[in-house]
């Protein structure tokens, strides 16, 4: 059996975490979803610092922008400034549809920007689309 | 008794003869033993000697004695005469010898005597000569000197004067020898022995100076040759020529004086032969032409340098010489050539000099430089010409009138050329008519002018007499005359002279100046009034920044009203500014002043001053650079205004602006927060309600599903509202986003966005040619989309919408209209529709948030435009949008922003 796809979800809202988990539950691929709830934790996870020494290297990062402590934008900037980490695709998944946020994210080399829809079904569809696109169509860089 | 005299005596003659004969006898006796023939020889010698010494008689005696002695003592003692023939013969021979010798001796003596006599005579003669004679041989020894020589040379010891050396020594020991010129002479310069070498007669004249007197002598040394042609003797002849020399000297001096006189005479003088050969010319004549005597002397006078510049002059001269040679004295002025081709005119005189016989011996040409005389004449002419030129160049009529002081009777002797130019009458008219002044003078002014002129003659003043003249072309000229009386040498009045000036222009200028002065004083008054009434302080200060503080030179009275100081008080204080300016602002004012001086421009500065009562007053001073006549900045002039009130308002405005900025920032922050933090819970509500519905569908009854649907719908609308509010709040005026926007392209985009609604409603949309404006492109899309969207939305249910988008250019703005044939709006609501969240219809009738038109108004506002609606209910609505062509223009004022066409 192929190793599971490692997803890191950076999200502070437990409701969204649960919704994401729900949406990924019926996935055809084997997914391992790690969740951290703020930017500092996210960087620690990625750098395997502190309690995350054994953390897996994620194949893709789902990043919310508005996060406690270290904000999602800062996290994005740090990832994309890191020689090693910047190859990991970062999908911005946020409530904001503010033009500035979109522009800024892409300027920081976000791989794609998705606004969370209000409708549950739409949200599910988006998650399915992400899964489909990133895990089945796209060739990810070797770990 | 001399030996020679003694020889003459008989005693000597006979005694000698007997003695000799005896001596011969003795000798014979002595030599007898040796030779028998000897006695004859001895006696023969005795006879010879006797005859030689004593003459014939003594010879005869000696011969007789010898015969006897011979006969007696030698041949046969005893006295038998002529005992033999031989004896007789001997006696005869002795006799003959005696005769012969005595004759010979006598002859010799006779010759000697005559020679001696001759010599003696010669000596007597030579001694009688006044010239000193000294004959010398080659060794220098004097073989003959005469008495005059000794006498002449004043030799103290005549016997010692035996040779040339002694003479020279004598001459040079106590005296000084000089030559004719007075220069010292040495013995070597005298001829003496040189005669021997040269073989020629040498002559010299020399002076012997002693004790201040000079004796002049000539010395002539003549060689005397022997038969071989060799110089045997030199005969020196000394001659005292002191007297002659003095005479010559006097004549010489006189001649020199005369020559000097001639030479130093300014005039040119010469001497020539009657046939015109120049033989003498004085130094003036030579020097003036840089000539040497040999250049001209001995040459025909007319060929000399002085004349050889013009053949005509030479011909005239030749003619004159011929006439002068006939005894005529010629005189004429002629030019002569001098050095460097200069010429002068001389008064030339050629005078003949006659000899005793009355024939012309010489011609004396002389000349005196008369250039100066001619120059004077010419100078006078030139002066007069110059004077007339000057007078003619004076821009006024200068006149000289004769015939009394009454101008009317005068005739003009001189009238300057300007008269013609000034009044237009020809000069001949002035000179011709005796009373021309009267003709040109304005008739009204004549009497007065004459009266004043007469008065001025009497008073002796020459003040200006103003009157008017009528020019030839009829112009009237204002003139001023300055007159003076002309008198002859006796003081008799013969006329008047003066100058008449055209003062028309000056009069005009004076009038102009007085007009300008009036204007200036009027303007000054006005300016003073302005300065006085202007609500600000006008000031002027001098001193550059380097000189330190500005010193006030003027300050308007308003200072008292503004700050409480009187102008006098301000002007009196040299450090006024420093006194009143708030110390914190003082440096700024100095810097400002320095900047004005540096740039040369004006500048405005705000600073604070203390009023006299201690109030702090905000002022604004506008200063300009002040320059002196040399255009050097030396101060400032300006105006200072109290801006305390303005400053307060500005401060308040700044506060408001700051508040507004903060408020806007907060609003933006709020909007952003709203967009996220409000939507999160909404999403949670919606999502989880939907999750419940999906996951627990089997367990929910229809009511539950309906309730969930309502809850989801509410949350969905809530999100719509929030998004609308966000859109509204994000409409900001940001100039950076303004660009050239083609409204045609905008409309195309909008129609594309709305294509489904248009299709659904079967709407007919028409539009004019839309302009390009400067705007925010996104907002323009939003504006048109909202308005057209509204038109589609509020259509009549029974007919498809017809929408027209119009565009008309009006003054300063584009007037866009969006007209529909929709349901229309009640007049009461035409304003309310633009207020946020104001809805006119139930949600189930026409959906919407009630924020679309609010957004439209806000967009138009941000573009400095105007939006309003006109509507007739049930017929349609027209929205008017006015956007300025130049977006920087002020907001379009709301006149009557809307009107209800329905009345």
Neighbouring residues of B71: CB distance < 8 A, sequence distance ≥ 6: B79, B80, B81, B83, B87
**CB contacts < 8 Å between A and B, how many?**
44
User: What average pLDDT does this structure show over B343-363?
Assistant: 87
Residue B521: the pLDDT is 92
Say if residue B78's pLDDT is above 60: no
Contact by Cβ (8 Å): B804, B766: yes
Three-state SS at B122: helix
Q: Are strands B411-415 and B396-402 parallel, antiparallel or unpaired?
A: antiparallel
Q: How confident is the model at residue A99 (pLDDT cuts 50, 70, 90)?
A: confident
Backbone angles phi, psi at B392, to 5 degrees: -70, -25
CATH code: domain A5-137 is 3.40.50.2300
Q: Are B776 and B738 in contact, with CB atoms under 8 Å apart?
A: yes
Q: Which of A96, A116, A118 sits opposite B716 (nearest CB)?
A: A118
Rounded to whole angstroms, the Cα distance separating B455 from B465 reads: 11
* Other residues' Cβ atoms within 10 Å of the Cβ of residue B331: 11
Specify the pLDDT at position B548.
66
Query: Tokens 């002018």 — which residue?
Result: B449
Q: Which residues of B65-90 are buried (b: 16+ CB within 10 A; e: fewer)?
A: bbbebbbeebbeeeeeeeeeeebeeb
User: DSSP alpha helices (H): ranges in B202-310?
Assistant: 242-264, 283-288, 293-296
- Structural tokens at position B726: 């966000």
Mean pLDDT of B771-798: 88
Beta-carbon count within 10 A of A42 CB: 31
Indicate whether B76 pLDDT > 60. Answer: no
Percent of chain B with pLDDT over 70: 91
Measured CA distances, A25 to A30, B339, B652, B693 (Å): 10, 140, 62, 18
**Rounded to an integer, what distance in angstroms lies between the CA atom of residue B644 and that of residue B25?**
190
Average pLDDT for B579-594: 86
Contact of B263 with B273, CB cutoff 8 Å? no
Confidence at B343, pLDDT banded by 50, 70, 90: confident
DSSP letter, residue B674: I
- Written as six digits, the tokens of B375 are 């120059």
Tell me, what's the pLDDT at A107? 92
Report CA torsion sign: B37, B40, B44, B46.
positive
For residue A117, what is the enclosing H or E element?
Answer: none
How many helices (H) does chain B have, and how many strands (E)? Answer: 29, 28
Rounded Cα gap, residues A57 and B331, in angstroms: 146
Q: Residue window 670-689, chain B: list those with CB within 8 Å of chain A.
A: 672, 675-676, 679-680, 682-684, 686-688
Position B794 scores a pLDDT of 87
Residue B599: pLDDT over 50: yes
For the ranges A85-94, B27-36, B505-514, B866-875, the lowest mean pLDDT is seen at B27-36
Half-sphere exposure of B290 (CA within 13 A, CB side): 6
Q: What pLDDT is recorded for position B25? A: 74
The stretch A11-27 carries a mean pLDDT of 85
pLDDT over threshold 80, residue B407? no
Banded pLDDT at A8 (limits 50, 70, 90): very high
Q: State the Cα–Cα distance between residues A50 and A42, nearest whole angstrom.
A: 12
Tokens read off for B741 = 């926007």
Mean pLDDT value across residues B756-775: 88
- Least confident range from B82-91, B289-298, B437-446, B704-713: namely B82-91
The per-residue pLDDT for range B648-665, each reduced to its tens digit, is 888 899 999 899 888 878
CA–CA distances in Å: residue B748 to residues B184, B582, B752, B781: 141, 64, 6, 9
Candidates B879, B903, B896, B881; CA nearest to B827 is B903
Higher-scoring residue by pLDDT: B842, A14: A14
Contact call for residues B43 and B94 (beta carbons, < 8 A): yes
Burial degree of B685 (CB within 10 A; 0-12, 13-18, 19+): middle
Average pLDDT value for residue range B358-385: 82
Measure the CA–CA gap between B158 and B142, rounded to whole angstroms: 12
Give the integer Cα–Cα distance in Å for A86 and A65. 17
CA distance B452 to B65: 161
pLDDT higher than 50, residue B19: yes
Q: With a cut of 60, say whether residue A111 has pLDDT above it.
A: yes
Distance of CA B816 to the CA centre of its chain: 82
With 90 as the cut, is the pLDDT of residue B776 above it? no
B463 at interface of A, judged by CB pairs closer than 8 A: no
B534 neighbors B442 (Cβ within 8 angstroms): no
Chain B: closest CA distance from residue A129 (Å): 18
3-state DSSP assignment of residue B787? helix
Please compute the mean of the pLDDT values over residues B518-544 and round it to a whole number.
85
B4 pLDDT tier (thresholds 50, 70, 90): low
Q: Do B690 and A120 touch (CB under 8 A)?
A: yes
The mean of the pLDDT values for chain B is 81
Interval B308-340: pLDDT, tens:
888 888 998 899 998 888 888 888 888 888 888
DSSP, collapsed to helix, strand or coil, labels residue B776 as strand
Contact A120 B682 (CB under 8 A): no
Question: Tokens 């959906």 correspond to what residue?
Answer: B847
The tokens of B249 are what? 């000297």
Residue B173 backbone dihedrals phi, psi, to 5 degrees: -70, -45
CA–CA separation, A104 vs A109, rounded Å? 9
pLDDT tens per residue, range B463-504: 788 889 998 888 888 998 888 888 777 777 778 888 888 888
Measured between CA atoms, how close is A118 to chain B, in angstroms? 5
Q: What is the per-residue pLDDT across B836-878, written as a single tens digit (0 to 9) for each? A: 777 677 666 666 777 888 889 888 888 888 899 998 888 889 9
Mean pLDDT over residues B554-565, rounded? 86
Measured between CB atoms, which of A13, A96, A119 is closest to B686? A119
Instruction: Report how far residue B753's alpha carbon sits from residue B787's, in angstroms, rounded to the nearest whole number.
Output: 13
Give residues with Cβ within 8 angstroms of B462, minimum separation 6. B456, B482, B483, B484, B498
pLDDT confidence bin for A76, thresholds 50/70/90: very high
Gap between the Cα atoms of B129 and B135, Å rounded: 14
Could you say which residues from 530 to 589 on chain B have a Cβ atom under 8 Å away from some Cβ of chain A?
Answer: none
Residues of A in contact with B675 (CB under 8 A): 95-98
Of A15, A97, A98, nearest to B684 by CB-CB distance is: A15
pLDDT of res. B35:
63
Closest CA to B426 of B440, B442, B443, B407: B440
The strand pairing partners of A9, in sequence order, are: A35, A62
- Distance of alpha carbon B172 from alpha carbon B187, whole angstroms: 7
Q: Using an 8 Å Cβ cutoff, are B178 and B185 in contact?
A: yes
Specify the pairing of strand B764-767 against strand B802-810: parallel
Is B284 within 8 Å of B261 (Cβ atoms)? no
CA B22 – CA B50 distance, rounded (Å) = 12
Give burial (CB, 10 Å; 0-12/13-18/19+) of A112: middle
Q: What are phi and psi of A5, to 5 degrees?
A: -75, 130
Best to test chain B binding among A11, A14, A15, A19 (most B CBs inside 10 Å): A15
B752 token code pair: 């594309």
Closest residue of chain A to B682, computed from CA coordinates: A118
Neighboring chain B residues of A124 at a CB cutoff of 8 Å: none
Interface of B with A in 691-720 (CB under 8 A): 691, 694, 715-716, 719
Rounded CA-CA distance B809/B812 in Å is 8
* Numbered residues of chain A with Cβ closer than 8 Å to any chain B Cβ: 13, 15-16, 19, 22, 66, 94-98, 116, 118-121, 123
| Contact present, B327 and B361 (Cβ < 8 Å) | no
Among B70-74, B140-144, B300-304, the least confident range: B70-74
Residue B360 to residue B863: CA distance in whole angstroms: 133
Measured CA to CA, the distance from residue B6 to residue B315 in angstroms comes to 93
Cα separation of the two ends of chain A: 17
Nearest CA in chain B to A15: B684
Indicate left, alpha or beta for B493 from its phi (over 0: left) and psi (-120 to 50: alpha).
Answer: beta
ipTM of the complex: 0.74
The three-state secondary structure class of B842 is coil
């Amino acid at each position: 059996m192929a190793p599971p796809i490692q997803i890191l979800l950076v999200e502070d809202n437990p409701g969204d975490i649960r919704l994401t988990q729900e949406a990924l539950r019926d996935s055809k691929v084997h997914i391992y979803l790690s969740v951290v709830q703020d930017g500092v934790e996210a960087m620690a996870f990625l750098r395997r610092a502190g309690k995350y020494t054994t953390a897996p290297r994620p194949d893709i990062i789902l990043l919310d922008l508005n996060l406690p402590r270290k904000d999602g934008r800062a996290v994005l900037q740090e990832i994309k400034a890191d020689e090693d980490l910047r190859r990991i695709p970062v999908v911005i998944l946020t409530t904001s549809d503010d033009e500035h946020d979109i522009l800024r994210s892409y300027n920081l080399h976000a791989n794609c920007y998705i606004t969370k829809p209000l409708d549950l079904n739409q949200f599910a569809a988006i998650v399915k689309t992400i899964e489909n696109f990133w895990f089945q169509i796209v060739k990810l860089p070797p770990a | 008794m001399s030996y020679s005299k003694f020889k003459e005596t008989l005693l000597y003659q006979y005694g000698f003869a007997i003695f000799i004969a005896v001596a011969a006898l003795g000798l014979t006796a002595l030599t007898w033993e040796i030779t028998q023939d000897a006695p004859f020889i001895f006696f023969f010698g005795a006879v010879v000697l006797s005859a030689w010494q004593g003459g014939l008689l003594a010879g005869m005696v000696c011969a007789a004695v010898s015969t006897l002695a011979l006969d007696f003592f030698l041949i046969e003692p005893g006295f038998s005469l002529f005992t033999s023939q031989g004896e007789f013969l001997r006696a005869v021979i002795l006799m003959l010898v005696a005769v012969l010798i005595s004759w010979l001796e006598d002859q010799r003596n006779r010759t000697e005597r005559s020679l001696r006599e001759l010599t003696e005579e010669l000596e007597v003669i030579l001694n009688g000569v006044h010239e000193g004679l000294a004959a010398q041989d080659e060794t220098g020894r004097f073989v003959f000197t005469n008495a005059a020589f000794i006498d002449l040379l004043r030799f103290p010891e005549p016997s010692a004067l035996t040779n040339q050396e002694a003479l020279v020594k004598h001459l040079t020991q106590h005296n000084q020898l000089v030559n004719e010129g007075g220069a010292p002479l040495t013995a070597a310069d005298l001829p003496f022995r040189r005669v021997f070498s040269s073989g020629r007669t040498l002559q010299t004249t020399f002076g012997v100076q002693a004790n201040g007197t000079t004796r002049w002598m000539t010395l002539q040394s003549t060689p005397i040759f022997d038969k071989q042609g060799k110089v045997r003797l030199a005969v020196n002849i000394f001659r005292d020529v002191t007297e002659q020399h003095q005479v010559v000297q006097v004549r010489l001096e006189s001649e020199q004086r005369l020559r000097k006189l001639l030479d130093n005479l300014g005039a040119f003088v010469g001497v020539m032969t009657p046939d015109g050969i120049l033989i003498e010319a004085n130094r003036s004549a030579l020097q003036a032409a840089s000539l040497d005597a040999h250049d001209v002397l001995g040459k025909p006078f007319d060929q000399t340098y002085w004349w050889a510049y013009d053949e005509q002059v030479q011909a005239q001269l030749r003619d004159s010489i011929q006439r002068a040679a006939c005894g005529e004295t010629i005189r004429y002025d002629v030019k002569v050539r001098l050095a460097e081709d200069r010429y002068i005119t001389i008064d030339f005189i050629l005078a003949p000099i006659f000899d005793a016989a009355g024939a012309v011996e010489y011609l004396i040409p002389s000349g005196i430089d008369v250039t100066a005389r001619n120059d004077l004449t010419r100078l006078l002419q030139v002066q007069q010409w110059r004077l007339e030129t000057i007078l003619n160049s004076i821009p006024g009529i200068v006149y000289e009138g004769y015939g009394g002081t009454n101008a009317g009777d005068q005739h003009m002797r001189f009238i300057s050329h300007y008269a013609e130019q000034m009044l237009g009458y020809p000069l001949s008219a002035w000179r011709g008519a005796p009373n021309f002044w009267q003709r040109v003078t304005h008739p009204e002014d004549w009497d007065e002018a004459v009266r004043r002129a007469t008065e001025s003659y009497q008073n002796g003043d020459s003040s200006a007499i103003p009157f008017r003249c009528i020019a030839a072309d009829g112009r009237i000229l204002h003139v001023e005359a300055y007159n003076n009386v002309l008198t002859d040498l006796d003081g008799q009045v013969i006329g008047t002279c003066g100058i008449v000036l055209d003062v028309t222009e000056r009069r005009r200028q004076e009038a102009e100046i007085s007009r300008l002065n009036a204007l200036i004083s009027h303007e000054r008054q006005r300016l003073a009034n302005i300065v006085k009434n202007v609500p600000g302080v006008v000031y002027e200060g001098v001193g550059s920044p380097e000189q330190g503080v500005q010193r006030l030179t003027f300050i308007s009275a308003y200072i008292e009203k503004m700050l409480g100081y009187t102008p006098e008080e301000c002007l009196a204080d040299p450090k006024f500014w420093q006194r009143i300016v708030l110390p914190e602002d003082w440096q700024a004012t100095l810097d400002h002043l320095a900047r004005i001086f540096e740039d040369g421009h004006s500048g405005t500065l705000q600073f604070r001053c203390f009023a006299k009562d201690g109030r702090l007053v905000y002022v604004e001073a506008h200063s300009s650079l002040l320059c002196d006549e040399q255009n050097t900045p030396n101060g400032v002039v300006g105006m200072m205004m109290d801006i305390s009130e303005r400053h307060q308002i500005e401060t308040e405005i700044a506060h408001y602006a700051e508040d507004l900025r903060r408020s806007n920032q907060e609003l933006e922050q709020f909007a952003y927060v709203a967009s996220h933090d409000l939507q999160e819970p909404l999403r949670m509500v919606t999502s989880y309600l939907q999750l419940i519905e999906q996951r627990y569908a089997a367990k929910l009854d229809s009511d539950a599903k309906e309730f969930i649907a309502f809850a989801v719908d509410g949350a969905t609308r809530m999100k719509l509202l929030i998004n609308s509010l966000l859109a509204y709040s994000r409409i900001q005026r940001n100039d950076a986003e303004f660009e050239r926007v083609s409204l045609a392209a905008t409309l195309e985009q909008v129609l594309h966005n709305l294509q489904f609604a248009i299709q659904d409603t079967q709407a007919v949309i028409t539009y004019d040619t839309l302009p390009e404006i400067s705007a925010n492109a996104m907002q323009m899309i939003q504006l048109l989309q909202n308005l057209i969207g509204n038109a589609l939305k509020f259509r009549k249910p029974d007919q498809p919408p017809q929408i027209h988008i119009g565009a008309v250019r009006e003054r300063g703005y584009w007037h866009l209209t969006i007209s529909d044939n929709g349901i229309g709006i009640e007049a009461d609501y035409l304003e309310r529709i633009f207020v946020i969240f104001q809805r006119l219809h139930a949600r189930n009738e026409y959906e919407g948030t009630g924020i679309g038109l609010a957004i439209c108004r806000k967009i138009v506002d941000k573009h400095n435009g105007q939006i309003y609606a006109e509507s007739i209910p049930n017929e349609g609505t027209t929205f008017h949008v006015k956007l300025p062509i130049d977006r920087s223009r002020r907001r379009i004022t709301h006149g009557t922003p809307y009107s209800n066409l329905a009345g």
